[in-house]
């Protein structure tokens, strides 16, 4: 087990201020006598220093994407600029490069053979741009007037899929990179004519890279699309009108938060899970290898104080784990077995003021609190 291996090999506890995970790889940011550093560990192996030490105030939390052969891309965010480094299979990290982006808006993807991709947006003046980089070539995919969530995947054959969301007006776009070129973006959903502004969108890929899962909100429906299958509506969340705007020409419903913070996961056998937040709580829809989607399952009743902290992972057979950060600063997780039964959410950590968003690594929950890395 990853937790036991890490505890034995690396002598937990380990100091850390924040963490990120992908597969069985963990990246942490921590403070040392020489300054801030970022280190990574894969499958319980020794920590490898990637960036630092730096004496700048705060190193910025690491963000990673990893492939099964050891390919890894890592970014250190610092306000509107990130330093990015890539590790090829069996090698060491290359020299860092810099990417300018809107704060928090950088997504990474990795595939076997040293392939990496990046997706980000950057705001300039009264408009912004969505950029993608695959194989060292940067392409502007779109010009937008507002930003929403982004998503990115990279398959072993080099096919990249990018999704982005313009929130005002609501518009969700997806584009694919094949044979060295980006195709024309396809609009998944437009809210220009109905006044709705559901901004949730998520993109996931199976570990073997053969399937991808796209989930998005539109017209008050949660839709999913798995490559090679018809698009399905898997939930119709109850909508509560949070405010009403009156204009000279029309009365329109304004929903600053109807359904957002969508997260998705996909296994090699087609098992999948999607979690989403509404003002009424945190919900999950799942399926096993039979591809039959379940009705929405309630994980939390009532709005989460810390929004967009839920993370989900799914394994072959439909086994699913979800973790999140409630308003009291505790860490909570719930699991679904292969028969579709959910257990009662379990509190993994007592409330702490500095508890950070939890992540999932090889089925374990990983988080930082009190300056320490925790794994359960």
Calculate the alpha carbon distances from 111 to 7, 138, 328 in Å: 28, 18, 38
How does residue 244 score in pLDDT terms, banded at 50, 70 and 90?
very low
Is pLDDT at 58 greater than 50 in this prediction?
Answer: yes
Percent of the chain at pLDDT above 90? 54
Calculate the alpha carbon distances from 250 to 247, 256, 258 in Å: 5, 18, 21
Range from 42-56, 108-122, 238-252 that averages highest in pLDDT: 108-122
Residue 76 and residue 30: Cα distance in Å, rounded?
A: 12
How does residue 240 score in pLDDT terms, banded at 50, 70 and 90?
low
Calculate the alpha carbon distances from 350 to 166, 301, 323, 331, 370 in Å: 38, 20, 14, 7, 12
Q: Are 25 and 35 in contact (CB under 8 A)?
A: no
Which range is least confidently modeled, 28-32, 89-93, 322-326? 89-93
Backbone angles phi and psi of 206, in degrees to 5: -65, 150
Is pLDDT at 194 greater than 50 in this prediction?
Answer: no
Residue 55 and residue 65: Cα distance in Å, rounded?
A: 26
Q: Are 125 and 164 in contact (CB under 8 A)?
A: no
Q: Would you state the structure tokens that stand for residue 74, as one six-digit string? A: 């890592």
Residue 45 and residue 300: Cα distance in Å, rounded?
A: 35
Q: pLDDT at position 35, please? A: 87
Q: pLDDT at position 192, please? A: 54
Is pLDDT at 265 greater than 70 in this prediction?
Answer: yes
How does residue 251 score in pLDDT terms, banded at 50, 70 and 90?
very low
Helix (H, G, I), strand (E, B) or coil at 356: coil
Is pLDDT at 239 greater than 70 in this prediction?
Answer: no
Q: Are 86 and 114 in contact (CB under 8 A)?
A: yes
Calculate the alpha carbon distances from 209 to 95, 111, 213, 268, 278 in Å: 27, 8, 11, 8, 30
Which range is least confidently modeled, 90-99, 201-210, 291-300, 312-321? 90-99
The pairing of beta strand 181-182 with beta strand 170-178? antiparallel
Q: How far is CA 176 from the centre of its chain?
A: 19
Q: pLDDT at position 311, please? A: 97
Residue 170 and residue 89: Cα distance in Å, rounded?
A: 40
Q: Would you state the structure tokens that stand for residue 61, as one six-digit string? A: 């939390």
Q: Give me the count of residues in the chain.
A: 376
0.85 surpassed by pTM: yes
Q: How far is CA 120 from the centre of its chain?
A: 13
Q: Would you state the structure tokens that stand for residue 319, as one six-digit string? A: 């086994």
Residue 104 and residue 202: Cα distance in Å, rounded?
A: 16
Backbone angles phi and psi of 8, in degrees to 5: -75, -50
Query: Which residue carries 């090999």 as its tokens?
Result: 9
Q: How far is CA 94 from the centre of its chain?
A: 25
Mean pLDDT throughout 81-91?
87
**Residue 234: half-sphere exposure toward Cβ, Cα within 13 Å:** 31
Residue 93 and residue 74: Cα distance in Å, rounded?
A: 9
Is pLDDT at 104 greater than 70 in this prediction?
Answer: no
Q: Are 12 and 6 in contact (CB under 8 A)?
A: yes
In terms of Cβ atoms closer than 10 Å to its own Cβ (0-12, 13-18, 19+), residue 30 is: buried
């Amino acid at each position: 087990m990853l937790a036991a291996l890490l505890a034995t090999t690396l002598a937990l506890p380990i100091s850390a201020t924040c963490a990120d995970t992908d597969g069985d790889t963990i990246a942490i940011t921590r403070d040392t006598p020489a300054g801030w550093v970022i280190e990574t560990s894969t499958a319980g192996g020794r920590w490898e220093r990637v960036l630092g030490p730096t004496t700048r105030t705060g190193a910025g939390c690491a963000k990673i994407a990893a492939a099964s052969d050891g390919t890894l891309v890592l970014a250190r965010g610092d306000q509107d600029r990130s330093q990015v480094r890539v590790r090829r299979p069996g090698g060491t990290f290359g020299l860092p490069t810099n990417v300018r982006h809107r704060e928090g808006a950088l997504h990474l993807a990795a595939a076997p053979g040293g392939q990496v991709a990046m997706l980000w947006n950057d705001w300039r003046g009264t408009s912004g741009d969505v950029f993608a980089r695959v194989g060292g070539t940067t392409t502007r995919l779109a010009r937008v007037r507002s930003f929403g969530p982004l998503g990115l995947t990279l398959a072993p054959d080099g096919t990249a899929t990018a999704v982005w969301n313009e929130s005002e007006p609501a518009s969700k776009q997806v584009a694919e990179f094949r044979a060295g070129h980006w195709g024309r973006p396809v609009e998944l959903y437009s809210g220009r004519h109905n006044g709705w502004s559901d901004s949730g969108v998520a993109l996931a890929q199976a570990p073997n890279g053969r399937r991808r899962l796209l989930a998005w909100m539109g017209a008050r429906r949660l839709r999913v699309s798995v490559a090679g299958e018809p698009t399905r509506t898997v939930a119709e969340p109850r909508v509560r009108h949070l405010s009403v705007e009156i204009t000279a020409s029309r009365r329109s419903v304004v929903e600053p938060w109807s359904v957002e913070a969508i997260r998705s996961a996909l296994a090699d056998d087609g098992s999948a899970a999607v979690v989403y937040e509404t003002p009424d709580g945190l919900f999950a829809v799942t399926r096993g290898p039979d591809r039959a989607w379940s009705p929405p399952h309630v994980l939390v009743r009532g709005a989460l104080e810390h929004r967009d902290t839920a993370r989900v992972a799914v394994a072959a057979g439909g086994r699913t784990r979800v973790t999140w950060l409630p308003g009291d600063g505790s860490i909570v997780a719930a699991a679904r077995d292969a028969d579709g039964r959910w257990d009662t959410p379990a509190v993994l950590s007592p409330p702490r003021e500095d508890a950070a968003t939890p992540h999932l690594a090889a089925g374990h929950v990983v988080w930082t609190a009190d300056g320490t890395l925790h794994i359960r």
